[in-house]
Every structure is written in C-alpha cells, then in structure tokens.
Amino acid sequence: MDVSHLDLFRFRGVSAAEWGDLEPYFDDAIVFVEWPEAGAGALPTPRVEVRLDHGDEEELRLVTIHSDAGPGLRHGD
C-alpha cells in the first residue's frame, strides 16, 4: 500500500483543478495531510485524525487521535 504526505500549508483552498492533481494520491493509500483545513470540502473525510499540539514545559507535545470508524480500526477497513 502506498503512503503519501501532503502539506497544504500554503494553500488558501483547494480548487477543482488542484483536487484533480491530488486525488490520485488517495487511491488505495494511506495519506497524511498537514493543514487539512485548506482542503475542507474537497478532501475525503478522514478515517483517523491525529492532531499534534504544543504542550507546556512538562508536556512537550500533545497527541490526540480521533476516529469515527469505531473501535478496532482494522487493516483493510
């Protein structure tokens, strides 16, 4: 299975033409998307959302994992 990384930091939105360029990355692949807000309305619904935030001096990073796929997300789901 392919794994792709898309960084949408500089995007202000994703047009239909830009989505046409990005869509093949999502075919039967695991795709990590940074700054997905820029692709709102164009990107597929996330299966799993991983959010990384800065913590305080004791917690350098906060990692939040969320999925609507239900417990036990399995390979092939």
* Residue 74: predicted pLDDT: 55
Q: Which of 68, 32, 62 is nearest to 47 (CA)?
A: 68
Which CATH superfamily does the domain covering 2-66 fall into? P-loop containing nucleotide triphosphate hydrolases (3.40.50.300)
Q: What is the pLDDT of residues 27-44, one digit of tens each?
A: 888 889 998 888 888 888
Domain ranges of the chain: 2-66
Q: What is the pTM assigned to this prediction?
A: 0.66
* Residue 72: predicted pLDDT: 56
Q: Which residues of the chain have a pLDDT value below 50?
A: 75, 77
